[in-house]
Structure 1
Amino acid sequence: MSDATLGTKAVATRPAATALVGLSAAGRALPVAILAALPGLVFTAGFDHLAYGLGPLAGIVLAGLLIAPHIARVGAASIPEALLTSFGKAAAVAGGIVLVLVALPLLTAELATIGIVAEASLGLPYLPAIVVAAVLSIAASVLLSNRAFAWLAAVAFVMFLAGLLLPLVLLASKSHGLVLPHLAYGDALSAVDRLEQELIENGLVEFETFAVHVTPFLRLSRLDTFALVVSLALGVAVLPQLASALASNGRRAATVRLAGAWSALFVMLVLVTVPALAAYAKLEIYGAMAANTPLATLPVWLEAPLGAGLAHIHGTSIAMLDHVAKAVSAGQIDPAAIADSLAAHALAMEQRWLALDEQVRSAIIEAARALGAGASSADLWQAYVGQVLPAAAAAAGNNTATLTQAALVLEPLGLLIALPALSGAPAWILLGFLLPALVIAAALARSLIAVALSGRTREPVSEGRPLRAYALTLIIPLAAAGFAALRPDELVSITVSALSLGAAGLFPVLALGLAWKRATAAGAIAAILLGGGVTLYYDFGIEVFPAAFYRTWAPLSNAGEFAIEEFETLTTEARDAESEEARASAEAALETLARGTPSSGGLANWFGIDSASGAVFGVPAGFAALVLVSLVTRRRSDQP
């Protein structure tokens, strides 16, 4: 067996080696930005957000059944090489552009995840952490052989699974004694249901953000769920690092599919662990709420997510207090100046600051003055609990000043950060999530090499490699680090949008184009451009100019009567405003209404589909373009 690759004909005949290929593929298949947030997503919305796990699992199955066998059959080692071999350079370039556009946001989300986890678990500053992660990912992509990288990916996946299993076992033992958590999961769900009913009866929930754990289609409609699962499944199926890993198991479709089956099995181990972990975590957290825990004696497991800005109580956090203290020490005592300082750290923090009651902001500023810059974590905790929370509770009407579901917002990654203290696991367990995220980042960087070389080599290091291979491998990860430095707060949405674009641009040509003998180069290019273009337009249209998008496509929107009336009222106010300030305020309200918020959908959509799930429109467009253009153009072999 060659040391340069994990997959050869000899390997294909050995079941253990094929299983290792599947394990390695699992380690580089799924973005950690979604996997690390998955327990928190399920915690927040119950069964609805299991769609974030079902989609990737289906994608691995599709990659093993359809995509990787087609790539292996044409003798290619990567997606760009398969496009080059089957449809020529123009199609390979078009596919390469899509892969770059997919890799950039995925890398951004992975690096931001690394920065957040490193800051919370190791105390490393966020910016240096993402720079180091970007450098390491570049080094791994260039220096490691395929064989070494395959082993690294396998180890990373095992570490990730262990990082989920240990807190799960400890949480289950706290509530049910020494049990197998996956088998006792049903009892945990019953206990969660009882706690939810108790919280509802005592008025401790906010129905706008509350979802009954076992009731589906409360936060996501059936159509939303379908669109999300499809977008994730088709996007994961065409991930370049996954396709290459599976295709390395030989040219026979049966052996490639066997490796895909192993990969799906390993990923399933993660996905059956996540719902149980979310349920047992909810038992602990809702139990504290049902016990009327005073805000003055917050559980210690909230300290880490509050300090990372991944949990908020009545809109405040320790991270906000810390940054306000630094701003006040620098002489910024005006709330507007403090808002600008917070915006430089994270736009989401600025928005929360501006949404706070004036009395709450004053309390935070007073506490910040007493603390000064460089306050210890213990001093921050005491000031937050003793000064900030009483003011925040009073402003929110929380007269009992207790921890409630309405008061606490726990972001998806916040649950991950809280797991060590919540379960009693050692804090270093979070380190098990850093290597998998780094492997995914390095795998994406390695896929850029194939794009730059147009698939002409299988090895990450080769003599005479064109300068563009090095340039692309450096530029994209560094650009991603630059975007990650802005601390984007919607990492899951960024990841879904990127996978959606990959699905729309590549799935039709890889699933049908490589298998259909009548497919032409012109058809492949049309499929890539139209599929990707439709999805890009849908996503950017809703996120960047939502009001204009709604006006253009109003008949296709699922907007209700009252929302439409409000939109028309705001349009009139913006048109007839007597001052620039009034016009700007009305136009901003229009954009927000059209775009929607995390808790309510906007008017700008087609049939109510979320902007990130635009692949459900792009993929059919790509299939149609591939078929129609191929039928009216000649194949390369038919041309004179």
Structure 2
Amino acid sequence: MSDVLAGPEGAVADAPVSEGSGSLILAGISTAGIAAPAVLLLSLPGLVFVAGFDHLAYGLGLLAGVVLAGLLIAPRMRRAGGATITDALFRRFGRATAILAAIVIVFVVLPMLAVEFTFIGLLAETGLGLPLIVALGGAFVLSAAGATLLTDRAFRWLSVLAYLLLAASLLVPLVLLALKAHGLGVPHFAVPETLTSIATLEEKLVENGLVDFDTFSVHAKPFARLTGLDLFALLVSVVLGVAVLPHLTATLAAGTRRSAIRLSGAWTALFVMLLLLTVPALAAYAKLAIYNAVADGTPLASLPAWLEAPLKAGVAHVHGTSLAMLDAVAKAVGAGVEDPSAIADRLALHAFDLEERWRALAPETQEAVAAAARAITAGQVTAWEAYVSTVLPAAATAAGNEAATLSQAALVIEPAGLLLALPALSGVPGVGAVLFIAGLLVAAIVAVVAQVRGLMTIANIDTDVSRKGRPLLVSILVLAVVALAAGTAMLRPHDLVEIIVASLSLAAAGLFPVLALGLAWRRATAAGAVLAILVGAGVTLYYDIGIQVAPAAFYRTWAPLSNASESAIEEFDALETEASEGESDEAKATALASLETLARGTATRAGLANWLGIDSASGGVFGLPLGLAVLVLVSLLTSRRRARDAQP
């Protein structure tokens, strides 16, 4: 190929892997280690824990996306004469299409990198005690060095290591939890018995009033948290988004023969499937252990030690409080901030969601948190002691939990929170817990390196621009994007999985039509490809950003397409009236904030701003068909350019 960057891109195009069976198996293992964002893969047990069988859709979507990348996208890229997305599109449609695709790739990879860095910071700060800025700085340096200095062969072996670490991070806790529950045996074979035990515990918790039906769902019941339409939209976004990930497709397309590319994709899918087989079992055993602790009436004063790590990271909450909140309030109090509103402003600088959680607390709980913070600042108690002895009693009383015991209603564990709880929950010894976290960090950093290398492939376009200094310039630009992602992670964005899905959704709508249909259909034209990317990506971005940034305005514009209930519409109208006609500016501001929250929705309540009830992150389900339709219609109405250098 005529224009290849030094480093990872050169390895993709000029040094294809050997196509013997042994090499293809090794390539399958290495590709499986980097096929998915580490955040998505490692959050899968937590996702299934939170919502039961419904969230298995994430894993099925990931597996189907890898299969589709190997069977459809990578072979068509190679047939078009390119080993990268942008090069294949340039050869088929020209410079404008390739550049536009490159822009979409940047918008896809940037938030994914920010989420990966956030996850790395979470692990390093909580598990290893490193300051966040040190953790993110180290991750940036390692990822930059790995992306620019590693040879293709070295990175392939590093990816194999990442796969083994990912497997160990899922298998070791699974075996230990199963050993506690059932004794020696193969954990997967005892899952039916475990599900029966979970169902019995669920009935007990419901009968004793220990659940919050806004967050509780029966583990083995389908469509408990997702409707059929929600499930379809999620699967479309994940499957087609994974299928066009630049680092995955470039790795698979490195083969010289399309049959070998498909075989490599099949091996990759097999090894990804082996990882995914542990997910439902691990989620089930973890839920059994946690529900047993809840059913036994564990006092909040004797909070299990396995909750300390996720509470410290702010990815678990008891009655809306966490150690992360207490730590942030202690820093505010130490700086002389005492007023609850002023504390809220300080929390907003620490993390996006802490301010909202602080404002949702009852005044007496806020005062208890502040009192605990003062005691910590004075060196009288540790954070854990202050949290258990001062914060939790007040939070339990405010929530009506007079018994002050752990309940499903009181405990919220986010997907990443279960991962942090696994070492202590499963009984991994202290040194083993550190090794567990270190292994996850290595796997996550390798995943970042893979995405950065994939980002570098967008410059693999055969243009007339002088190439002498281009590899260095491209590397600088890509590293600037990576630095921006690491800087964004300092803001601690939450809803990490939702951000990943939104990125995949954008990739599906913006890239899949031109790669799946455009590269295969001889009648497709450059004009059709350009407009397909613009329309598909544009509609998806509008849907996601519109709902997140201006939900009330989005709902007003598209109210006929919303699935809002009559009661929600009446509540929206009442708040809108209050926001414009309130007795004071403060009342108007409060009503306006409530209006935006109602329209956007919360973790336990769907918002009014939507089309047909589809989540904002899955907006690709609207952009994708429009992109396909535009590609077909415009191509039929415009003339076709001659393809360059296409391989037969």
TM-score above 0.5, yes or no: yes
The residue aligned with 1:27 is 33
**CA distance in 2: counterparts of 1:154 and 1:456, whole angstroms:** 35
Query: Which has the higher mean CA deviation after the structures are superposed, 7-16 or 438-447?
Result: 7-16
Deviation at 1:470, TM superposition (A): 2.1
Task: Judge conservation of contact 1:44–1:412 (CA < 8 Å) in 2.
Answer: yes
Residue 115 (str. 1) matches residue 121 (str. 2): yes
Paired amino acid for 1:209: T
The structure-2 alpha-carbon separation of the partners of 1:455 and 1:614, relative to structure 1 and needing over 3 Å to count, comes to: farther
The residue aligned with 2:529 is 524
The residue aligned with 1:73 is 79
Deviations 1:222-243 (A, max 9, x none): 1101100110000000000000
Task: Judge conservation of contact 1:8–1:249 (CA < 8 Å) in 2.
Answer: no
**CA distance in 1: counterparts of 2:180 and 2:630, whole angstroms:** 56
Task: Judge conservation of contact 2:13–2:83 (CA < 8 Å) in 1.
Answer: no
The partner residue of 1:432 within 430, 436, 439 is 439
Residue 396 (str. 1) matches residue 395 (str. 2): no
Task: Judge conservation of contact 2:110–2:485 (CA < 8 Å) in 1.
Answer: yes
**CA distance in 1: counterparts of 2:273 and 2:530, whole angstroms:** 35
Paired amino acid for 2:642: S
The partner residue of 1:184 within 165, 184, 190 is 190
Task: Judge conservation of contact 2:95–2:463 (CA < 8 Å) in 1.
Answer: no
The residue aligned with 1:555 is 560
Paired amino acid for 1:236: V
Paired amino acid for 2:54: D
**CA distance in 2: counterparts of 1:97 and 1:401, whole angstroms:** 53
Paired amino acid for 1:280: Y
Deviation at 1:26, TM superposition (A): 1.4
Mapping 1:486-525, distance limit 5 Å: 486-525=491-530
Mapping 1:7-18, distance limit 5 Å: 13-18=19-24
**CA distance in 2: counterparts of 1:524 and 1:127, whole angstroms:** 42
Deviation at 1:573, TM superposition (A): 2.0
The partner residue of 1:564 within 551, 560, 569 is 569
The structure-2 alpha-carbon separation of the partners of 1:381 and 1:172, relative to structure 1 and needing over 3 Å to count, comes to: same
The partner residue of 2:459 within 452, 456, 459 is 452
Deviation at 1:453, TM superposition (A): 4.2
The structure-2 alpha-carbon separation of the partners of 1:456 and 1:76, relative to structure 1 and needing over 3 Å to count, comes to: farther
Task: Judge conservation of contact 2:321–2:395 (CA < 8 Å) in 1.
Answer: yes
Mapping 1:200-239, distance limit 5 Å: 200-239=206-245
Task: Judge conservation of contact 2:12–2:250 (CA < 8 Å) in 1.
Answer: no
Cα root mean square deviation, aligned: 2.0
Task: Judge conservation of contact 2:230–2:615 (CA < 8 Å) in 1.
Answer: yes
Q: Percent identity?
A: 59
Deviation at 1:334, TM superposition (A): 1.7
The structure-2 alpha-carbon separation of the partners of 1:351 and 1:638, relative to structure 1 and needing over 3 Å to count, comes to: closer
**CA distance in 2: counterparts of 1:388 and 1:311, whole angstroms:** 15
**CA distance in 2: counterparts of 1:472 and 1:631, whole angstroms:** 37
The partner residue of 2:59 within 37, 53, 57 is 53
Deviation at 1:463, TM superposition (A): 6.8
**SS at 2:412 equivalent:** strand
**CA distance in 2: counterparts of 1:188 and 1:382, whole angstroms:** 34
The residue aligned with 1:157 is 163
**CA distance in 2: counterparts of 1:354 and 1:550, whole angstroms:** 25
**Stretches (4+) displaced over 6 A:** 6-10
Residue 169 (str. 1) matches residue 175 (str. 2): yes
The partner residue of 2:341 within 336, 341, 358 is 336
**SS at 1:184 equivalent:** helix
Task: Judge conservation of contact 1:138–1:473 (CA < 8 Å) in 2.
Answer: no
Query: Which has the higher mean CA deviation after the structures are superposed, 141-150 or 239-248?
Result: 141-150
**SS at 2:189 equivalent:** coil
Query: Which has the higher mean CA deviation after the structures are superposed, 362-371 or 191-200?
Result: 362-371
**CA distance in 1: counterparts of 2:143 and 2:30, whole angstroms:** 17
Task: Judge conservation of contact 1:6–1:150 (CA < 8 Å) in 2.
Answer: no
Task: Judge conservation of contact 2:299–2:404 (CA < 8 Å) in 1.
Answer: yes
Residue 268 (str. 1) matches residue 273 (str. 2): yes
Paired amino acid for 1:269: L
Task: Judge conservation of contact 2:39–2:497 (CA < 8 Å) in 1.
Answer: yes
Deviations 1:421-462 (A, max 9, x none): 0001221212222122112211221122222343689xxxx9
Unpaired segments ≥5 residues, structure 1? none
Deviations 1:502-557 (A, max 9, x none): 11000000001111111111111111111101101111111111111111111111
Mapping 1:197-596, distance limit 5 Å: 197-250=203-256, 252-372=257-377, 379-425=382-428, 426-427=432-433, 428-454=435-461, 464-596=469-601
**SS at 1:422 equivalent:** helix
Deviation at 1:579, TM superposition (A): 3.0
**CA distance in 2: counterparts of 1:590 and 1:148, whole angstroms:** 53
Deviation at 1:10, TM superposition (A): 8.7
* TM-score (normalised: structure 1): 0.95
Deviation at 1:564, TM superposition (A): 1.2
Task: Judge conservation of contact 2:350–2:491 (CA < 8 Å) in 1.
Answer: yes
